[in-house]
Chain A
Amino acid sequence: MPRIPSFLLLAAAPLTGAALLGLAACTLEPTAKITSGEHLYRQKCADCHGARGEGVADKYKESLVGDWSLPRLARYIEKNMPDDHPGTLAPRESEAVAAYVFETFYSPAAQARLHPARVELAHLTNRQYAVTVADLIRSLAPPTAEEGPSDAPPGLTATYFSVAQRGRFDPAKVTHRGTAAAVDFVFPENGELRARLALPPLDRPPTPNSREPAGFSAQWRGTVFADETGDHEFIIRTPNSVRVWINAEPDLRSGSEPTLDINVSTPKDPDHRVTLRLLGGRAYPIAIDYWALPEKTGSPVVPAIALRWKPPHGSERPIPTRNLSGGQATPTFVVSTRFPADDSSQGYERSISVSKAWDEATTSAAFEIVNHVIKRLDRLAGIRPNDPARAQKLAAFAEKFAGAAFRRPLTPEETQRNVTDLLRDAPDAETGVRRVMLLALKSPHFIYTELPARESDATRTATRLALALWDSAPDAELARAATTGRLRTREEVSAQAARLLSDPRARAKVREFFQHWLQLRYLEDLGKDTQLFPDFTPAIIDDLRASLGVFVDTAVWSERSDFRELLRADYLFANARLAKFYGLPAPTGVATPDEFARITAPAGQRSGVLTHPYLLAALSYKATSSPIHRGVFLTRSIVGRALKPPPEAQAFDETSFEHGMTMREKVTKLTRSENCQGCHAVINPLGFSLENFDAVGRYRTEDAGRAIDAASDYADDDHASVRLAGARDVAEFAIASEHANRAFIEQLFHHLIKQSPRAYGPDTLARLRDSFIASGYNLRSLMADIATLAALPGTAPTTLAVTSPPHSP
């Protein structure tokens, strides 16, 4: 039975359920036709659709807005409208009504005219808040560790010691150093592992009443990379003692406490769990101190330790080696206060409204941030023990914090009111700093992103650029460019955009765009009928999600950065487990079994994201494919057409069909009514193009014992018929379709800028599309163009020569 909400089942009607039939004969000239159409609309349509197509409660409440062409709209009206007497309008009448509706409110152009777009006052989105704060805290002090990609092989550095130690680990007791692909060890008393690591036997009891150490210990150090933003649960399993720091410094002076501090373990319950919120696309320091106290020979408890995690959207499993590195990273402050969800009513997250819950969250988060900083205040403010200049340094720090929060230097008036006065009136210097930070974090200058410039235009340009590409504040270099007059021309801004794009923060933001584009946040339940697909395990599902991520990352950040590659690549990224499940050649040249390699699929079978098994499996029922879900996805995300909720809900009931029907036949039968066909004429051909893939995304040639027919005639935006024989044809159609290109660019624009492209000029999308095509569908050029255009409104996009950053998927 369907596991997907029934409203999706009959996908949605591209339009409104309104009706028309357009016809050929244009006997009236346009203006007259519209006038007569208006008359007819008032007579026959307005009762249900409202005077301006806004909808009527209890009748037809959806507003008449959409992207059908005029002829298509007219044809639909002729066949289906009015709802109570369909077919009673003469072709000429339908055509007139359609023209009126189309010109007055239905078409995108009419909507743009009715609702002129402008750049709206917006506050930081939840992601912008979290990233901005993380970078703000980081900017307050020099990093404590060398950043950047490490040359170290994947895995954590490991050091083993001949005695049980805690706190201070004595280098003189080291028995072995190496790299651990995973922390997952069992140390049986006479085992090979103990011998290899030169660890002593456990049965050296301490002499009575002494603390003579015995047993053994180990340390693992490095970083863990979070693929996605959200709560990560870490699980340490050990019957021994362990201290773990994750996203914290293993140094008590730094003000951070161990994430897990397990001195006492109980063999019956050896799992120790902790949940941390992490921002995706970043590496976090991880440090593990482990010690096994001496035990009696023959003790039933075998020393052991295993590190696992449960990332967002994933199952509990060992942390993949590809997410571990022996390098170093500075902790990232991740605010844990939950904000109310951002407004997604326009299809992308933006923050244009304020509410009580939101205001409370900004207060709560401000306290959280202030407390974090105060704990580390002396270090951040560069104060030494018994520093005679403590008060001055605190005052300087307070002003620096306020400026960082405002993303610009303070005006003299602001310095007086927001810093100096507060410091003066506080009972002590530390309280003064608290208050300055609290005010800065509650201030509209921190919280709002599109305020008229208080400083130079260049400062505003820098702020917009950093928000567009990082969701963060400008870094020192960008701020310097703004204040030294090197951020005025389009070329200067473009060059900074290119630089920002080579930063991991851009990758993290873009990664979330593709998750949004591919609807990955909503596609979670991939569980299948275990009788039919016993090998489709949670581990396979986790691998698939990672495989899709690696594919998108690689395509976007490769030198060509070619959008077309995303749609028509004939390869998949797979590890050994996935390759086996999908019948692909085993990956070669990989260091560990969970590492991914590019594997070309048999000719003609795969076509980029369209046929990625993660999506195919997500867009399926438990036992069978679902052309409707797949078709809706292709309609919305790939060919970029609007769909509205279906006029009638209808469940897909497997038992209602005759035995032996193919899935295509079932869907065709279910959606054959004219009412359904308004949308399913679009959805079904697209969905059928993926019928060569079963419920877990494996390639197949038969369904219900018969050969698959994946070909259909698809009516494009201009109502022309296009033959689609399979996924590859859909990809090529989307690549060539101006409409599809624009829809993609608009989604990307929304994600980066959080404003409507029309606010930057009526032809923004057309101009961006032109430069996109001219650049060879270069995604990085497109992102730089979008960011530049929004940072410097009024400038024309150009195709930028974006140099490829060094990249490691």
Chain B
Amino acid sequence: MTPLLRREFLRQAGLSAAVLPFISGLPSLALAAPARPRQRLIVVFSPNGTIPPAFWPDQVGRDFQLKEILSPLTPYRDRLLTLQGLSNKVRGDGDGHMRGMSCLLTGIELLPGNIMGGSGVPAGWASGISIDQEIKTFFQSQASTRTRFGSLEFGVGVQDRADPWTRMSYAGSGQPVAPISDPYQMHAKLYGQMKDRENLRSVLDPLKADLAKVRSIISAEDRRTLEQHEVLVRQLEREITQGPGQTLRVTPPDLERGIADQNDNVPRLSRMQIDLLVNSFVNDMARVATLQYTKSVGGARMNWLDITDGHHGLSHEPDTDEAAQKKLIKINTWFAGEVRYLADKLAATPEPGGEGTSMLDHTLIVWTNELGKGNSHTLDNIPFVLLGGGFGFEMGRALKFDKVPHNRLHLALAHGAGHRLETFGKRDLCSGGPLALS
């Protein structure tokens, strides 16, 4: 946030800049059981399409078998929903990857722009808000669902550049939301203010000693000013020791130090980010999150899987290249393993005030991808796997649709969150209304 925006924000929030660090949104221990069960949404993204035969269950309905890529999620089979047959039908400017990525959560065309892809017409940012941000805004509009951040955007190995291939979240037309790839930066965003408060508290005693010393050497006429100053410091002390929101439900995770944002650290970065994500949810800092692995056309080299080729390059190999297919299955299975880790953490975390339920019962994970299949660049059969609870969907099913616009899934997500939108994204692609998933 630029200084000006920050000031503007503080002004609108009616808070002084100094008080904010101590109060804003740090949840109190007394997080009462909510009137209505808490709901959370996590969108997980992995790039470059999947290998359909190793991904989609052959069966439809409740009786289905998980294929190799989804096998890490076997313990959650009854809490899964696989949605085959959803299509990203948004057309217009930009190549398949760009539209795959920037229309994935927005369901609306890209603006004209200066970014030229491998083919097609150059394009710019998406021209509308993404569903995660739409639901965040909805949650933030009501006191009962409002949190300090509303949403958090995590990245893992996202390149440090901004274009339609690297952004899926949009706060509005032409307003991409950048994911934070550096766990230390995310940690500072989540907990820096608490550290500030601790640091301030630790200097109050010597500060009072400095003031007392100065008071003793200045003239009687000036002493009044100093005494007023001392009163202010005592007030500050009371505010930071007795003010609201002093305690977190859980302490911040201790991050391993010095993990650089590099290709080979992706597995460790992934776990650090997931730990931070779940931790932030327990402390109720946000109800919506995205977790973006690399980017569309992401070329991570998964040396930790003994795969030395870049992911994107591999994804272009034909179906007949068995070696490449094997590697791609391995890569996608690894992503499923990270989703599993996330689900495990949520399942192992009791829902605060939730009467014996787990956090996973109140959280829906949506794992998706910008392409149906890497080598064809198809925007049909976009991988959508839903896991968890909270949105009232009937889980434990494999569903198949026939090229249904994915906008209708977004409508179902909005409705599941209690936000009864008529349309989302491109209006023409919403006919039929929300997908019936419950």
Which residues of A line the B interface, CB within 8 A?
A: 118, 120-121, 166, 205-206, 208-209, 231, 239-241, 261, 263-269, 274-275, 277, 292-295, 301, 336-338, 352-357, 359-361, 363-364, 367, 414, 417-418, 421-422, 425-426, 431, 434-435, 438-439, 442-445, 448, 451-452, 454
Q: How far is the CA of A152 from the CA of B232 in the complex (A)?
A: 51
Contact A208 B164 (CB under 8 A): no
Please judge, given known A-B contacts A269-B174, A431-B199, A451-B218, whether A293 and B116 are in contact too, CB under 8 Å: yes
Most chain A beta-carbon neighbours within 10 Å: one of B112, B125, B195: B112
Q: Return chain B residues, CB-CB under 8 Å to A421.
A: 206
- Known contacts: A337-B17, A444-B210. The answer to whether A354 contacts B114 by CB under 8 A is no
| Known contacts A264-B124, A336-B7, A438-B203; is-contact A354 B112 (Cβ 8 Å) | no
Question: Which of B112, B125, B196 contacts A367 (CB under 8 A)?
Answer: B196
CA distance A364 to B228 in the complex (A): 19
**Which residues of chain B in 230-287 are interfacial with respect to chain A, using CB atoms and an 8 Å cutoff?**
232-233, 235-236
Cβ of B142 within 8 Å of any chain A Cβ, yes or no, is: no
Q: Is A294 in contact with B116, judged by CB distance below 8 angstroms?
A: yes
The one of A166, A268, A360 in contact with B16, judged by C-beta atoms closer than 8 angstroms, is A360
5 closest A-B pairs by CB: A360-B18, A336-B3, A121-B222, A439-B203, A364-B17
- A356 to B233 Cα, complex, angstroms: 9
- Out of A209, A363, A442, name the residue touching B118 (CB < 8 Å): A209
25 contacts across the A-B interface (CB closer than 8 A): A118-B221, A120-B222, A166-B161, A206-B116, A261-B162, A264-B113, A264-B162, A264-B164, A267-B112, A275-B4, A293-B115, A295-B114, A295-B122, A301-B114, A336-B3, A336-B4, A338-B17, A354-B232, A367-B196, A434-B199, A443-B210, A444-B214, A444-B226, A445-B210, A454-B217
User: In this complex, what residue of A is CB-closest to B176?
Assistant: A264
CB within 8 Å of A: which B9-41 residues: 16-19, 21
CB distance from B256 to the nearest CB of A (A): 14
Let me know if B211 is at the binding interface, CB within 8 A: yes
Contact-size category for B = 35 or more
Task: Please give, as numbers and ranges, the residues of chain B lying within 8 Å of A363 by CB-CB distance.
Answer: 18, 200, 236
Q: Are A353 and B202 in contact (CB under 8 A)?
A: no
Chain A residues contacting B118 (CB-CB under 8 Å) are 208-209
Does B143 reach chain A (CB closer than 8 Å)?
A: no
Within 8 A of A (CB), among B378-405: none
Query: A297 to nearest B CB, angstroms?
Result: 13
Residue of B nearest to A241 (CB): B114
| In the complex, chain B residues whose CB is within 8 Å of the CB of A451 | 214, 217-218
Min C-beta distance of A627 to chain B, whole Å: 41
Contact yes or no, A417 B214, CB < 8 A: no
Interface centre among A275, A417, A443 (most CB of B within 10 A): A443
With A266-B124, A367-B196, A438-B200 already in contact, the answer to whether A121 and B114 are too (CB < 8 A) is no
Which chain A residue has the least Cβ–Cβ distance from B232?
Answer: A359
A121 to B225, CA, bound (A): 8
B394, chain A: closest CB distance, angstroms: 40
Binary A-proximity of B163-181 (CB < 8 A = 1, otherwise 0):
1100000000010100000
Out of A205, A352, A417, A425, name the residue touching B209 (CB < 8 Å): A417
Query: What 4 additional pairs, Cβ within 8 angstroms, besides A241-B114, A425-B202, A438-B203?
Result: A293-B116, A295-B114, A434-B199, A435-B202
Q: Which residues of A contact B326 (CB under 8 A)?
A: none
User: Once the chains bind, are A364 and B162 in contact (CB under 8 Å)?
Assistant: no
Nearest neighbor of B7 in chain A, beta-carbon distance: A338
Q: Is B436 an interface residue (CB 8 A)?
A: no
Tell me whether B236 and A422 are in contact (CB under 8 A): no
B189 is an interface residue with CB less than 8 A from chain A: no
Nearest CB of chain A from residue B186's CB, rounded to whole Å = 16
Q: How far is the CA of A120 from the CA of B223 in the complex (A)?
A: 11
A780 to B434 CA separation, bound complex (whole angstroms)? 77
Whether the pair A439, B214 counts as a contact (CB closer than 8 A) is: no
Q: Which residues of B contact A443 (CB under 8 A)?
A: 207, 210
> Given A263-B163, A264-B114, A267-B112: A435 and B174 within 8 A (CB)?
no
- Chain A nearest CB from B70 CB (Å) reads 30
Chain B residues contacting A444 (CB-CB under 8 Å) are 210-211, 214, 226, 229
Nearest residue (CB) in A for B196 is: A367
CA distance A337 to B112 in the complex (A): 38
Does B2 count as interface, using CB distance less than 8 angstroms?
yes
**Contact assessment for A264 and B115 in the assembled complex, using a CB-CB cutoff below 8 Å:** yes
Residues of A contacting B435 in the complex (Cβ-Cβ under 8 angstroms):
none
Once the chains bind, are A352 and B199 in contact (CB under 8 Å)? no
Q: Is the C-beta of B119 less than 8 angstroms from some C-beta in chain A?
A: yes
Contacts A359-B229, A364-B18, A431-B199 given; does A442 touch B207 at CB 8 Å: yes
Assess whether B221 is in contact with A231, with CB atoms less than 8 Å apart: no
Complex CA–CA separation, A294 to B118 (angstroms): 12
Of all chain B residues, the one with the shortest Cβ separation from A443 is B210
- B114 contacts which of A208, A293, A425 (Cβ < 8 Å)? A293
Contacts of B162 in A (CB 8 A): 261, 263-264
- A277 vs B125: C-alpha distance in the bound complex, in angstroms? 29
Contact A439 B236 (CB under 8 A): no
Does B164 contact A353, Cβ atoms closer than 8 Å? Answer: no
Which one of A266, A267, A336, A355 has the highest number of Cβ atoms from chain B below 10 Å of its Cβ?
A266
CB distance from A33 to the nearest CB of B (A): 36
| CB-defined contacts of B176 to chain A, threshold 8 Å | 264
Q: Which residue of B lies closest to A303 (CB)?
A: B114
Q: Which residues of the partner chain B approach A361 to less than 8 Å between Cβ atoms? A: 17-18
Which residues 43-88 of B have a CB within 8 angstroms of A?
Answer: none
A239 touches B21 (CB 8 A): no
Bound form: Cα–Cα A39–B196 in Å = 65
Interchain CA distance A355-B18 in the complex, whole Å:
13
A335 → chain B closest CB, angstroms? 9
User: Which residues of the partner chain A approach B229 to less than 8 Å between Cβ atoms?
Assistant: 354, 359, 444
Known: A266-B174, A294-B116, A352-B225. A445 touches B199 (CB 8 A): no
**B437 close to A (CB within 8 Å):** no
Among residues of B, the one whose C-beta sits closest to the C-beta of A335 is B3
In the complex, chain A residues whose CB is within 8 Å of the CB of B209: 417
Residues of A within 8 A of B307 (CB): none
Q: Is the CB of A208 within 8 A of B218?
A: no
Residues of A within 8 A of B222 (CB): 120-121
Collect the chain B residues with CB atoms within 8 Å of residue A295's CB. 114, 116, 122
Asked if B194 CB lies within 8 Å of chain A CBs, one says no
Residues of A contacting B16 in the complex (Cβ-Cβ under 8 angstroms): 357, 360, 364
Within the complex, the shortest CB–CB distance from B94 to chain A, in Å, comes to 11
B210 touches A438 (CB 8 A): no
Interfacial chain B residues near A422, Cβ < 8 Å: 202-203, 206
Contact check: which of B124, B210, B228 meets A265 at CB < 8 Å?
A: B124
B21 surroundings in chain A (CB, below 8 A): 367
Complex CA gap A267/B121 in Å reads 14
Q: Report the separation of the CA atoms of residues A269 and B172 in the bound assembly, to the nearest whole angstrom.
A: 14
Do B210 and A239 touch (CB < 8 A)?
Answer: no
Contact with A along B187-203 (1 / 0, CB 8 A): 00000000110011011
A144 CA / B289 CA spacing, docked (Å): 40
**A210 CB to closest chain B CB, in angstroms?**
9
A791 to chain B, nearest CB (A): 19
Indicate if B347 sits at the interface (CB-CB under 8 A): no
Q: Which of B118, B199, B211 has the most CB of A within 10 A?
A: B199
Most chain A CB atoms below 10 A, which of B3, B161, B217, B233:
B3
Q: Please, how many angstroms separate the alpha-carbon atoms of A671 and B125 in the complex?
A: 64
B416 to chain A, nearest CB (A): 32
Find out whether the CB atom of B218 lies under 8 angstroms from the CB atom of A417: no
Q: How far does the Cβ of B240 sit from chain A's closest Cβ, in whole Å?
A: 10
Nearest neighbor of A338 in chain B, beta-carbon distance: B7
In the bound complex, how far is the Cα of B115 from the Cα of A263, in angstroms?
8
Given A265-B114, A439-B206, A121:B218 Cβ within 8 A: yes
Closest CB-CB distance, B93 to chain A, in whole Å?
A: 10
Q: Within the assembled complex, what's the spacing in Å between the Cα atoms of A357 and B236?
A: 11
Tell me, rounded to whole Å, the shortest Cβ–Cβ distance linking A119 to chain B: 9
Q: Which residue of B lies closest to A406 (CB)?
A: B210
A360-B17 in contact (CB<8A): yes
Cα of A266 to Cα of B162 in the assembled complex, Å: 14
